[in-house]
């Protein structure tokens, strides 16, 4: 390699290190100890660069750190006392500022585990496969952009004995205030939290409620928070509708009424319908009127709000139609289709988090350790994709080393 080529490579590596340092200084500023910030940097680099399982041992080996570094990385995640919540808030603000998000979404993640001692592990039915698995059940909050969904918060579902077994809870260092919650309750906590942060954008919520244990409760909670929504629901979802006399009915019944649907033609290969093929045309139907949510679920403040219904038939007629309820009555159908497509984007993001960013690889057993690891995986994903977008600030022009040293001091 020529001296000019090696010099260029060193300059590129130096720029990359400076970009990562800038990102870390912004996101991990709540970590007041320099030692914690140093291990955060090493852990972030490991999540990005290590192939295969992202463990403290593999990170230390790949990053060519001293043998004792694996123990220090393990301590940084599992025994260090840093607070992950302010780090996640800063991460969400950074993504919102640098990635032009247009929606919030949340999704469930099952993390397979061996044994029964890792925090939150429980035998559960995987609704997607129909199998019972031994796993942790997590709920992630994501900011949706044109090409990616950025994870910015995580919750762990503590059902079964994790909600009441004090010995297990103490062993896993679960805070007393952290009680058993459903997936829907986690989503509503996210909605309340984002609404309480004035610097975060007010964006529509795009959710798949077809497997939700309490879809009506989630819709009602979002209505109480006055959040705009686009939610996929089952045809049996209860609403109040009817063009003459409002009655309690279901989404499927309303969409089956004669002359109640208005077609909108779209191409069959639209990503809004992952089952579509080819370039033929297929209809998306919208309900001619508006519907409301039952008064008993949303209260007087939200009962008058009107919602729009949409139906997407299977192009081949072999599977049931899909249904959505949305408060975005003033949006063009094309914009709503773009929001529908975000569900496919979050699925690809979850796959990337599993395969390339170590979201399944936490080796500890404690509640704080799990949250520390998930915070780091979110930061690693955000750094990689913000950097590719050019949204991680470039380092300032090079100065002599003594000047940099004085500035750092």
Please give the average per-residue pLDDT across 297-322, as a whole number: 78
What phi, psi does 359 have (nearest 5°)? -65, -20
Q: Which residue has the higher pLDDT, 281 or 271?
A: 281
pTM exceeding 0.85: yes
Sheet strands (E) in 182-273:
205-208, 229-233, 238-241, 247-250, 261-267
Paired with 154 in beta bridges are 140
Q: Secondary structure of 264-319 in the HEC alphabet?
A: EEEECCCCCCCCCCCCCEEEEEEECCCEECCHHHHHHHHHCCCEEEEEECCCCCCC
Condensed to tens digits (0 to 9), the pLDDT of residues 178-229 reads 989 999 999 999 999 999 999 999 999 999 999 998 999 999 999 999 999 9
Condensed to tens digits (0 to 9), the pLDDT of residues 31-74 reads 989 999 999 999 999 999 998 999 999 999 877 788 789 999 99
What phi, psi does 315 have (nearest 5°)? -55, -30
Task: Measure the CA dihedral 48/52/55/59, to 10°.
Answer: -50
Structural element, H or E, at residue 60 = helix 56-62
Band of the pLDDT at 5, cuts 50, 70, 90? very low
Contact by Cβ (8 Å): 120, 87: no
What is the spatial distance between Cα 359 and Cα 337, in angstroms, rounded to a whole number?
29
Q: Supply 29's token pair.
A: 């500023």
Q: Which residue has the higher pLDDT, 15 or 281?
A: 15
User: Where in the chain are the domains?
Assistant: 205-327
What is the spatial distance between Cα 116 and Cα 203, in angstroms, rounded to a whole number?
39
Torsion region of 276: left, alpha or beta (phi above 0 gives left; psi -120 to 50 gives alpha): beta
Q: Which residue has the higher pLDDT, 227 or 259?
A: 227
pLDDT of residue 71: 93
Give the count of beta carbons closer than 10 Å to the beta carbon of residue 91.
26
What phi, psi does 280 have (nearest 5°)? -70, 175
Band of the pLDDT at 281, cuts 50, 70, 90? low
Nearest of 143, 150, 140, 77 to residue 110 by alpha carbon? 140
């Amino acid at each position: 390699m020529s001296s000019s080529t090696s010099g260029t490579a060193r300059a590129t590596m130096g720029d990359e290190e400076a970009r990562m340092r800038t990102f870390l200084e912004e996101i991990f500023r709540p970590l007041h100890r320099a030692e914690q910030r140093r291990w955060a940097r090493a852990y972030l680099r490991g999540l990005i660069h290590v192939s295969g399982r992202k463990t403290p041992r593999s990170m230390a080996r790949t990053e060519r750190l001293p043998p004792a570094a694996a123990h220090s990385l393990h301590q940084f995640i599992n025994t260090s006392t840093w607070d992950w919540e302010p780090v996640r808030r800063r991460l969400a603000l950074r993504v919102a500022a640098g990635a032009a998000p247009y929606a919030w979404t949340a999704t469930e993640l099952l993390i397979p585990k061996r044994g029964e001692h890792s925090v939150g592990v429980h035998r559960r039915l995987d609704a997607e496969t129909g199998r019972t698995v031994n796993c942790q059940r997590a709920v992630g909050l994501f900011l949706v952009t044109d090409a990616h969904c950025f994870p910015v918060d995580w919750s762990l579902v503590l059902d079964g004995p994790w909600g009441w077994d004090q010995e297990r809870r103490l062993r896993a260092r679960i805070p007393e205030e952290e009680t058993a919650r459903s997936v829907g309750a986690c989503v509503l906590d996210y909605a309340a939290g984002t609404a309480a942060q004035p610097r975060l954008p007010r964006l529509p919520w795009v959710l798949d409620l077809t497997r939700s244990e309490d879809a009506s409760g989630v819709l009602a909670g979002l209505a109480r928070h006055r959040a705009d929504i686009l939610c996929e629901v089952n045809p049996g979802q209860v609403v109040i509708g009817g063009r003459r006399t409002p009655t309690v009915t279901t989404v499927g019944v309303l969409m089956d009424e004669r002359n109640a649907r208005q077609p909108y033609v779209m191409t069959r290969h639209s990503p809004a319908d992952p089952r579509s093929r080819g370039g033929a045309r297929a209809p998306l139907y919208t309900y001619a009127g508006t519907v409301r949510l039952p008064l008993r679920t949303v209260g007087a403040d939200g009962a008058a709000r009107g919602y729009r219904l949409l139906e997407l038939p299977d192009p081949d007629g072999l599977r049931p139609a899909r249904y959505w309820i949305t408060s975005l009555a003033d949006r063009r159908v094309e914009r709503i289709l773009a929001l529908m497509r975000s569900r496919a984007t979050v699925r690809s993001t979850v796959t990337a988090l599993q395969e390339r960013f170590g979201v399944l690889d936490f080796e500890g057993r404690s509640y704080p350790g799990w949250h520390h690891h998930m915070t780091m995986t979110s930061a690693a994903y955000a750094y990689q994709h913000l950097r590719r977008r050019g949204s991680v600030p470039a380092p300032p022009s090079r100065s002599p080393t003594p000047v940099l040293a004085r500035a750092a001091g």
